[in-house]
Structure 1
Amino acid sequence: MKKALILVLALFMLGQVHGQTRQKPAARAMPDAQQTEHYTFQLSDKVTRQHVSYQNRYGITISADLYLPKNRGNEPLAALAISGPFGAVKQQSLGLYAQTMAERGFAALAFDPSYTGESGGEPRNVASPDINTEDFSAAVDYLGLQPAVDRNRIGIIGICGFAGMALNASAVDKRIRAVATTSMYDMSRVMAKGYFDKTDAQQRTEMLEQMSLQRWEDARKGTPAPSTHNLPEKLQGNEPQFVVDYFNYYKTPRGFHKNSINSNAAWTATNALSFMNMPLLTYIKEISPRPVLLIAGENAHSRYFSEDAYHAADEPKELMIIPDASHVDLYDQFVKIPFEKLSSFFNENLSRAN
């Protein structure tokens, strides 16, 4: 049973292609289309939300929402750049995080990563350990140029699969003063080694051979094939609990969004290639002496990623386990997301005295 669960988890996250099932790529929204479209949460009357765009170091246009507290006074604010989960967009969980932190006095930027959502980049629906790390630094670039922001007081929050990218960005970008993660995934580790590091050398070779051959197919057809291992359109009743949890967020009104890969599209079949060869947390110790806060649910299948990152990081660091919480609970469940802890962490570490 445990082997079956690990296999399902691995196939879901790796997006391996088996056969030639094709899916129509998700429609690209115009940069300002989100002004009138659906968000999975109500806009708070305590904040303003402004759609913005800027370019990252690779020339890709990033689409983002900037949340500011309405009663912010005249002093520049501490700021946060926020992204994740892996395959989500700013109208979902990350936007909720940004709005909530803005209610607590921060300037907060929720951005769609490169190649996804309303951000630019071709082909669509791909991820990169390098470019998605850069996306966080590009957000810091943008925030540091805003008159409402104190550029010496910028932190970041990474959710789920973008937690690993947030930690990687914090190691390399010394402008980031503090980093927090929730429901962390190390996408490079899970793609390279499988869940609980159960992928052996032969399995890894087979996956790489399959994706390598898929590149010829993609080159011949002129477009990348989508993965055929995605969330089901309907639950059959025999799925692992983590699949049920993801389904209940991405495929229902609770969290569905047309621009979200997990709701309405598929990663490419070769998406795992660069992740399998480029470990994200190689330099996690170099975040120190800047602080790290890692938050995970007690019952999350991903909990071990946060625990292992905590042990690998240098002080100052903190691991917070949320009782009776699953991985997906920390996407949008206010009774379980420790926003007060996030506020106190960033207020303390982004203070003018630091």
Structure 2
Amino acid sequence: MEHSVKAFPMTAENEHYIFKLSDKVEREHVNYYTRYGIEIAADLYYAKDIDKDLPHKALVIGPPFGGVKEQGPGVYANQLAQKGFIVLAFDPAYHGFSGGMPRYTGSPDTYVEDFSAAVDFLGTLDFVGREKIGAIGICASGGFALGAARQDTRIKAVVTSVLYDIPSLAGSVKGEERQKQLQAGSKARWTDPEKYQLMYPEKPADKIPPNLNPVDAEFFSFYGMKRGWNSHALTNITATSFPSFMSFSVTTHLDSISSRPVLMITSEEAHSKSFTDEVYKKLAEPKEKLVLPHGQHIDFYDNVKIIPFDKISSFFDKNL
């Protein structure tokens, strides 16, 4: 495949959404560029009866680590568009239908830029109020959304859903194991810069493989099976990408977000709850943490009966 920053064409034949679009919602395929020159493929959602002569509140939604817009972000966008928001769900640079080579390249900085580039695009729409743009980050995008908001003051409010702090997790590796991982990622730049690990099957599986630990089994039940399977979400990042995650943070200097509000959502059952608890401590006011009694981590990707859309909607109605 020729190296290119151009996005790949998305057609009715190759798109694969894990949810049914509401008959009250319009979805448009759109494209725009990041400041690094990578073309982003995204979906714009809005209610069919919306008045485009008025400036509306808008949201940008980022996917879980390795995920794409046709999964969780689309689920959120479909629901929130029905509540009157203009919503943009994107494929991160180097992922999905977005451009960039090698495929599955990633770093904290590129994932943060994805949010700001989305705000750039929303600000070009006549029916979006530039002072009324918020961000939602699902799983790892929770950290990247906060990382974007700490430096991009155009993001006026943030919601994180079952946040996963991937850079912090990668950076927690110490000693000899850290050196081994750094060496492997560094040498891969010479030997195989496009190398990545296929984590999920090329077709949806009928059952979870044996001997997976509980967390991996939970993720497999979404990404590896019919529930959330997508051909563009079978891996995370290239081997050459890991050193950047081990050396940078997206959850420092979070006091820079104040006085813009943050709502963090998790549950008592979510295996990722500790990340929300730790990052919440770093935030300055105004902030709010909603801990629901039930719901696995992956339920906050697609389970519309678990995800508190009324709460999310009221938070942004109040703060945008």
Output the TM-score relative to the length of structure 2: 0.92
Distance 1:307 1:212 in 2: 33
Structure 1 Cα separation of the partners of residues 124 and 12 of structure 2: 23
State the identity as a percent: 45
Paired amino acid for 2:216: V
- Which residue identity does 2:295 align to in structure 1? A
Aligned to 1:279: 249
Higher percent of residues as helix: 1
Structure-1 residue corresponding to 2:3: none
Distance in 2 of aligned mates of 1:297 and 1:332:
15
Residue 210 in structure 1 maps to residue 184 in structure 2 = yes
How far the C-alpha of 1:287 sits from its partner, in A, is 0.4
Equivalent runs, 1:245-284 vs 2, <5 Å: 245-260=218-233, 262=234, 265=235, 267-284=237-254
For 1:273-310, what per-residue CA distance to the aligned partner results, in whole angstroms no more than 9, with x for missing partners? Answer: 11111111111110000001111121222111111111
Q: Which runs of 5+ in 1 are unaligned?
A: 1-27, 194-198
Q: 1:345 aligned to 2:319?
A: no
Alignment of 1:48 onto 2:26 = yes
One-letter identity of the residue aligned with 1:341: K
Q: Which runs of 4+ in 1 moved over 6 A?
A: none
Contact 1:297/1:330 (<8 A) preserved: no
Whether the 8 Å CA contact 1:35–1:51 is kept in 2: the answer is no
Query: 1:213 Cα deviation (Å)?
Result: 2.5
Contact 1:163/1:182, CA 8 A, preserved across alignment: yes
Q: Is the 8 A contact 1:300 1:325 kept in 2?
A: yes
Q: Greater relative contact order (Cα 8 A, min sep 6): structure 1 or 2?
A: 1
**1:145 alignment counterpart:** 124
Q: Alignment partner of 2:100: what SS? A: coil
- For 2:169 and 2:259, the matched residues in 1 are separated by 27
Bigger mean CA offset, 304-313 vs 234-243: 234-243
Choose the corresponding residue for 1:37, options 3, 12, 15. 15
Deviations 1:215-247 (A, max 9, x none): 3312xxxx422236x247663333222222211
- Partners of 2:177 and 2:187 lie apart in 1 by 15
Post-superposition CA distance 1:196-229 (Å, at most 9, x none): xxx33222122212222333312xxxx422236x
Residue matched to 1:170: 149
> Which of 123, 127, 134 pairs up with 1:155?
134
Q: CA, structure 1 residues 269+227, in 2 after alignment: closer, same or farther (shift >3 Å)?
A: farther
Matched, 1:304 2:278: no
Per the TM alignment, residue 172 of structure 1 is displaced from its structure 2 partner at its CA by 0.3
Contact 2:208 2:221 in 1 (8 A): no
* Aligned twin of 2:166: 187
How many pairs does the alignment contain?
310
